[in-house]
């Protein structure tokens, strides 16, 4: 019998708590040497292959095309495009958890596998993790704004959705212009992918909201998606 992912999350969290409680000495050692807890390993093809295996196991998916990684120092932040994760080594990325970053970018790779992007947004929109939705809208057409919310939400789920939960949408301020698209996107897709896995990802990519002017619109869309997927 398949265990719902939301229950798996709870079990994983309890296991993690038990492990932390029994490893206090190791934790103290890690605090003295942060590099042991921050998996900021060199983003190599070996690390990528390991991460792909972990993601496929965690989410029950399969990547149908080869993916490679390139240390492209022409960018500011990591970025996936056309089968390659471009991962620059610089002041902005040296303290990142490279394993978690690769998991996030694999979310974009899976999006491309299901529905190749019709076009890329501007480099600033791609690299600007701190941009809010209002700024995204100024840079890209409305459709690209919705794409970014959903696609970054899927990326965040690949990165942390196995063990973490997004906060309820109704806890966001009712102003899409000031929302963080990564946090908002994760909260939008998290309960859907928890309950329906890859089927929910396909739904999200092929049934996007026609309009979303408020948090209430996104809540209605999320509820409709849950209803349709459960039909």
CA distance from start to end of the chain: 20
Residue 78 has pLDDT above 80, yes or no: yes
What's the gap between Cα 149 and its chain centre?
10
CA dihedral sign, ordered 48, 51, 56, 57: positive
For the chain, percent helix, then strand, then coil, each to nearest 5? 60, 5, 35
- Per-residue pLDDT of 208-229, as tens digits, reads 876 667 788 889 999 999 999 9
More confident residue, 198 or 1: 198
Residue 113 burial (10 A CB sphere; 0-12, 13-18, 19+): middle
Q: Residue 142: is its pLDDT beyond 60?
A: no
Share of the chain above pLDDT 70, in %: 67
Q: How confident is the model at residue 117 (pLDDT cuts 50, 70, 90)?
A: low
pTM of the model: 0.75
Cβ-proximal residues to 173 (8 Å cutoff; 6+ apart), any chain: 179, 215
Q: Are 107 and 155 in contact (CB under 8 A)?
A: yes
Q: pLDDT tens, 3-20?
A: 556 555 755 545 444 444
Asked if 126 and 72 count as a contact pair (C-beta separation under 8 A), the reply is: no
Yes or no: say if 159 and 104 are a contact pair by the CB < 8 Å rule. Answer: yes
Q: Please determine, for residue 36, whether its predicted confidence score (pLDDT) is greater than 60.
A: no
């Amino acid at each position: 019998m398949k265990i719902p992912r939301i229950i798996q999350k709870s079990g994983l969290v309890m296991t993690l708590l038990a492990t932390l409680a029994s490893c206090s000495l190791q934790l103290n050692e890690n605090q003295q040497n942060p590099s042991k807890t921050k998996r900021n390993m060199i983003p190599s093809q070996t690390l990528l292959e390991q991460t792909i295996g972990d993601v496929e196991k965690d989410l029950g998916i399969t990547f149908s095309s080869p993916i490679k990684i390139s240390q492209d120092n022409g960018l500011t932040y990591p970025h996936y495009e056309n089968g390659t994760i471009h991962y620059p080594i610089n002041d902005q990325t040296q303290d990142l958890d490279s394993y978690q970053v690769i998991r996030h970018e694999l979310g974009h790779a899976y999006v491309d596998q299901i529905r190749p992007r019709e076009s890329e947004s501007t480099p600033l929109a791609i690299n600007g993790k701190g941009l809010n939705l209002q700024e995204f809208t100024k840079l890209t057409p409305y459709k690209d704004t919705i794409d970014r919310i959903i696609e970054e939400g899927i990326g965040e789920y690949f990165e942390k959705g196995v063990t973490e939960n997004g906060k309820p949408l109704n806890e966001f301020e009712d102003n899409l212009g000031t929302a963080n698209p990564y946090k908002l996107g994760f909260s939008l897709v998290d309960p859907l992918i928890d309950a329906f896995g890859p089927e929910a990802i396909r739904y999200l990519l092929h049934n996007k909201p026609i309009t979303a002017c408020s948090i209430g619109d996104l809540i209605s869309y999320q509820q409709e998606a849950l209803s349709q997927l459960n039909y």
